[in-house]
Structure 1
Amino acid sequence: MIVGCPKEIKNHEYRVGLTPGSVREYVAHGHTVIIETGAGLGIGADDAAYMSAGAKIVASAADVFAKADMVVKVKEPQPSEWVQLKEGQILYTYLHLAPDAEQTKGLVESGVTAVAYETVTDERGGLPLLAPMSEVAGRLSIQAGATALQKANGGLGKLLGGVPGVGPGKVVVIGGGVVGLHAAKMAVGLGADVTILDRSLPRLRQLDDIFAGRVHTRYSSIEALESEVFSADMVVGAVLIPGAAAPKLVTRDMLTGMKKGSVIVDVAIDQGGCFETSHATTHSDPTFVVNDVVHYCVANMPGAVPVTSAHALNNATLVHGLALADRGLSAIAEDVHLRNGLNVHKGRITNKAVAEALGYDLLAADAALKAA
């Protein structure tokens, strides 16, 4: 199979779908790998590094999309990219389709087979290809939020860790999953007063054990959510419903009860965001203010630390990527976890959450593959 990797073109996206180390693995499996020139510069990997790994360098993304049987990316295809996809081709990347009707329409019309990192599962019910970027985003959320809290950046001017004689900032994390756990770790490390809200009592018990009293945990009722958000200096939105649009847990009206200059970091923005006032921003213009509350809603947060995140992502995606390259559609048909990653196939939506969010008729993945 010809496996292709174009350079990412989303705003300030420096990650790359294939590192030179991953290229060596594909080549060792007998595949041809083509890389757009300059694709790896954001992680310090030049064309020579890819050629040493066995890749062929092509002049443009158009060459990748025209020649590759499987396209491996990081972020969802942009309009100039999805129009180049075609039936019989496999797209392997993050998609986040539920809040993105335009992209979904483009992929449906292309006829491509699109496997989304964020909905591939494992035997424990986890999301192994989403987890590494959730870890990165969770940790970055505190760095980004702490910067936004600075007065010159529009925040209320509070140091998260405080100093002797002056209390720390209060961080509220909505959602106790991978993002929430890693956000809390970073916030605790800085000395902040941290509360985690979640609706799973077993998960809250796990978090109590993990942090051994260093964080507060609360069941996420409406009353608890309002109480914590109103008293917070920073609120991190870390809620995930796999494949579906994020629920809007903090409403526009609730912002009027928040502190002036407090900060919202919406890590769920890839799935539409869990704050009603959120909209996606970029690394070049990361924040905006609504009702005197600073919103940080960058949709590709891990792109800010591409060396860490690209390698972490490749570590997670390589096994399934090799399976797709080795066996094509048979790999999806034979592996329920990879099949859960199939979102679009030959013009049909094969993911239930995406179909429900956007009003498409669902064709189950196994049925779609059989029909093909």
Structure 2
Amino acid sequence: MLIGIPKEIKNHEYRVGMVPASVRELIENNHEVIIETNAGIGIGFSDQDYIAAGASIEDTAAAIFAKADMIVKVKEPLAVERAMLRQGQILFTYLHLAPDLPQTLDLIDSKAICIAYETVIDTQGRLPLLAPMSEVAGRMAIQAGAQTLEKSNQGSGMLLGGVPGVAPAKVVIIGGGMVGNNAAQMAVGLGADVTILDRNIDTLRSLNIQFGSKVKVIYSTLDVLEAEVLAADLVIGAVLIPGAAAPKLVTRDHISKMKPGSAIVDVAIDQGGCFETSHATTHQDPTYIVDEVVHYCVANMPGAVAKTSTFALNNATLPYIIKLANLGYKKALENDQGLLEGLNVINGKLTCKSVAEAHNLPYVTAKTALAI
């Protein structure tokens, strides 16, 4: 199979779909890899590094899309990239379709086979291709939140961990999954006063065992959510419903009652965000103010630490890339139910129920679509 790696073109996105070591693995499996010139330059890999691994270099993304049987990316394809997809071509990347109707319709029209990293599951029902970026984003959320609280960034001027004689900032994390857990680790390490809210009792028990008295873990009712958010200096939105739009748990009314200079970091922004006042921002212009509350809603947070993120993502995606290349998409999907869960669009049909519900579009099951 011919695998193509275009350069990412989203604002301040420096990650790349495959590092040279991953390319070498594909070459050893008797596949060909073509990569757009300078695709890896943002994380320190030259074209020569890819050539040494066995890849060929193409000057343009158009050449990559025109030739490749499978396109491997990091972020969702932008409109100019979607226009280059063709029927029968495999697209393997993050898609986040639930909050993005234009992308959904374009992928349907392309008749490509579109497999989303974020909805692939493993044998234990976990999200193995979302997990590494959730780890990165959770840890980054605290770094970003700490900076957002600084007075120069229009925050309240609080140091997250305080100092002897001065109380630390109160950090509230909504959601105790992978993002929330990693955010808590960082916040605890910096000495913050940390509370995690979740509605899964087993998750709360696990967090309590992990953190002990260093973190307060509380079952999230409407009353608890409101009280904790209004008392917080920094709120991290770490809510995930796989494939679906994030629920708007923190309302505009809540935001209006928060302390002036407090901050929110909405890690769920890729799925539409879990704050009613959230809208996607970029690393170039990451924050905005609503009711004196600083909002950080960067949609590709891990892109800021591109080297760490690319290697972490490649570690997770490489086995699936090899499987798709070795077996072909149909046999690979038939043989791996978890990979089949990642199929969002195929041959003009939407196959992800949560995306269909978000956009009120018709869909068929992935199994049915694969059999047609």
Measured against the shorter chain, the TM-score band is over 0.9
How far is the alpha carbon of 1:333 from its aligned partner? 1.6
Deviates most, 254-263 or 296-305: 254-263
Q: How far off is 1:233 after superposition?
A: 0.3
For the pair 1:367 / 2:368, whether they are aligned, the reply is yes
Separation in 2, partners of 1:359, 1:17: 31
- Whether 2:161 is the aligned partner of 1:145: answer no
Q: What are the residue-to-residue correspondences of 1:101-112 with 2, within 5 Å?
A: 101-112=101-112
Question: 1:354 corresponds to which letter in structure 2?
Answer: V
- The Cα offsets for residues 107-153 of structure 1, whole Å up to 9 and x where unpaired, read as 00000000000000011110000000000000000000100100010
CA distance in 1, matches of 2:152, 2:91: 42
Overall identity of the aligned pairs, in %: 63
Which residue number corresponds to residue 167 of structure 2? Answer: 167
Q: CA deviation at 1:359?
A: 1.1
Q: SS of the counterpart of 1:3?
A: strand
Corresponding letter in the other structure for 1:347:
G
**Does 2:244 match 1:244?**
yes
Structure 1 residues 66-124: Cα deviation after superposition (integer angstroms, max 9, x where no partner): 00000000000000000000111000000000000000011000000000000000111
| Residue type at the aligned position of 2:253 | D
**What residue number does 1:354 align with?**
355
The aligned amino acid for 2:177 is G
- Measure the CA separation in 2 of the matches of 1:323 and 1:354: 25
- Cα distance in 1, alignment partners of residues 346 and 66 from structure 2: 19
Distance 2:149 2:301 in 1: 17
**Residues 1-16 of structure 1 mapped to structure 2, 5 A cutoff:** 1-16=1-16
SS state of the match for residue 91, structure 1? strand
Shift of 1:27: 0.5
Question: Secondary structure at 1:264's aligned position in 2?
Answer: strand
Partner of 2:344: 343
Aligned partner of 2:221 in structure 1 is: 221
SS at match of 1:256: helix
Pairing 1:291–2:296 present: no
| Whole-angstrom distance in 2 between the partners of 1:244 and 1:103 | 15
Rounded Cα–Cα distance in structure 1 between residues aligned with 2:111 and 2:368: 16
Once residues 257 and 281 of structure 1 are traced to their aligned partners in structure 2, the CA distance between those partners, rounded to angstroms, is 23
SS in 2 for 1:156: coil
Q: What is the aligned partner in structure 2 of residue 48 from structure 1?
A: 48
- Name 1:194's counterpart in structure 2: 194
Partner of 2:332: 331
1:167-197 deviations in Å (ceiling 9; x for gaps): 1000000000000000000000000000000
Which runs of no fewer than 5 residues in structure 1 stay unpaired?
none
Deviation, 1:283, is: 0.2
Deviation >4 Å, runs of 4+: none
CA distance in 1, matches of 2:108, 2:139: 35
Question: 1 CA distance for matches of 2:362 and 2:223?
Answer: 37
Residue aligning to 2:319: 319
Structure 2 match to 1:29 = 29
- For 1:346 and 1:57, the matched residues in 2 are separated by 29
Following the alignment from structure 1 to structure 2, what is the Cα–Cα distance between the partners of residues 104 and 269?
17
1:210-230 per-position Cα deviation (integer Å, ceiling 9, x unaligned): 002100011010000001000
- Give the drift of 1:368: 0.4
Structure 2 gaps of 5+ residues are none
| Paired position in structure 2 for 1:125 | 125
Letter matched to residue 252 of structure 1: R
> Which residue matches 1:274?
274
Letter in 1 for 2:349: R
Hey, what does 2:89 align to over in structure 1? 89
Residue by residue, what CA displacement relative to the aligned partner does 1:297-316 show, whole Å, maximum 9, x if unpaired? 00000000011000000000
Partner of 1:63: 63
Number of aligned residue pairs: give it.
371
Q: CA RMSD in A?
A: 0.5
Q: Secondary structure at the match of 2:257?
A: coil
Give the CA deviation at 1:356: 0.8
Measured in 2, the distance between the counterparts of 1:221 and 1:78 equals 38
The aligned residue for residue 98 of structure 2 is 98
SS in structure 2 at match of 1:288: strand
Shift of 1:62: 0.5
Counterpart secondary structure, 1:213: helix
Report the Cα distance in structure 2 between the residues aligned to 1:97 and 1:184, rounded to whole angstroms. Answer: 28
Alignment-mate amino acid for residue 341 of structure 1: G
Task: Give, as a single letter, the amino acid of the residue that structure 1 aligns with 2:90.
Answer: I
Q: Could you tell me how far apart the structure 2 residues matched to 1:332 and 1:318 are?
A: 16
Q: What's the TM-score once normalised by structure 1's chain length?
A: 0.99
Structure 2 residue identity aligned to 1:179 = V
3-state SS, counterpart of residue 17 of structure 2: coil
The one-letter code sitting in structure 2 at the alignment partner of 1:247 is: P
* Per-residue deviation, 1:257: 1.4
Which residue type is aligned with residue 339 of structure 2?
Answer: L
Amino acid at match of 2:180: G
CA distance in 2, matches of 1:356, 1:322: 32
1:16 is paired with a residue whose SS is coil
**Secondary structure, aligned partner of 1:25:** helix
Matched, 1:20 2:31: no
How many angstroms apart in 2 are the aligned matches of 1:170 and 1:177?
Answer: 20
